[in-house]
Amino acid sequence: MNTSTDRFSVTADPYRWPYDSHVAPAKVALIIIDMQRDFCGEGGFLHAQGIDIGPARNTIEPISRVLNLARRVPGMWVIHTREGHRPELVDLSPPKLWRSQQVCDGIGSEGPLGKLLVRGEPGSEIIPELTPALGEPVIDKPGKGAFYATDFEHILRTCGITHLILAGLTTDVCVHSTLREACDRGFECLMLSDGTMATEQKHYEASLTMTTMQGGLFGCVASSAQLLEALEPLAE
């Protein structure tokens, strides 16, 4: 039986996470969402749209600190996601392609990092600072949320994971889509405030507010420092 000495909780907003007092690391997965060169590298999908990737890159250090510590906590899971499409683009819907063409040359077009948002291209790869370790699952997803058209939920259920800690890009799109999907499926979620960023500050702030409103409608928000403080006593 787990005791308070091998479980943890995190100081968070609007309540101390998780709702059920403490959780064993084996029930928890750190979900690092779409930290790909296409989203935080020069020449990638966001950069091709003229978006400043500086704020996105500011999340790398906090995520790296959490990732390195999570790997030292016995039993805790780490899962990475990547948004991208098959090289044939058979999983790319016409509306999504059309929308992407309104802000750049479009998904599948050639860029400095290869074809934009296409699996197997340099831009689709996770940045070197956060390279998945051996045994850490990588979920390739064609949509915004990690649950859509993937085996993400199957992996979570099979591994007995009930609590998710979310970080990555972008707060208002892929992170919040995954958060909402997870909440509807009964997962208890925590978002890292300095481990995520949107393309606009107002969207980032709104996403955090929507997460914590009404007593934690979609879960909790905490800083990487608050999570590190909670995990450190369990690390080996």
Specify whether 27 is catalytic: no
Specify whether 115 is catalytic: no
Per annotation, catalytic residue among 27, 40, 115, 141: 141
Torsion of CA 205, 141, 167, 155, to 10 degrees: 130
DSSP 165-196: EEEEE-IIIIIHHHHHHHHHTT-EEEEEEEEE
In the chain the domains, ranked by start, together with CATH numbers, are 26-234 (3.40.50.850)
Specify whether 34 is catalytic: yes
Instruction: Give, for all 236 residues of the chain, the pLDDT tens digit.
Output: 234 569 999 999 999 999 999 999 999 999 999 999 999 999 999 998 999 999 999 999 999 999 999 999 999 999 999 999 999 999 999 999 999 999 999 999 999 999 999 999 999 999 999 999 999 999 999 999 999 999 999 999 999 999 999 999 999 999 999 999 999 999 999 999 999 999 999 999 999 999 999 999 999 999 999 999 999 999 99
Per annotation, catalytic residue among 115, 144, 172, 174: 174
Farthest-apart Cα atoms in the chain, separation: 55
CB 219 within 8 A of CB 184: no
Per annotation, catalytic residue among 27, 34, 115, 194: 34
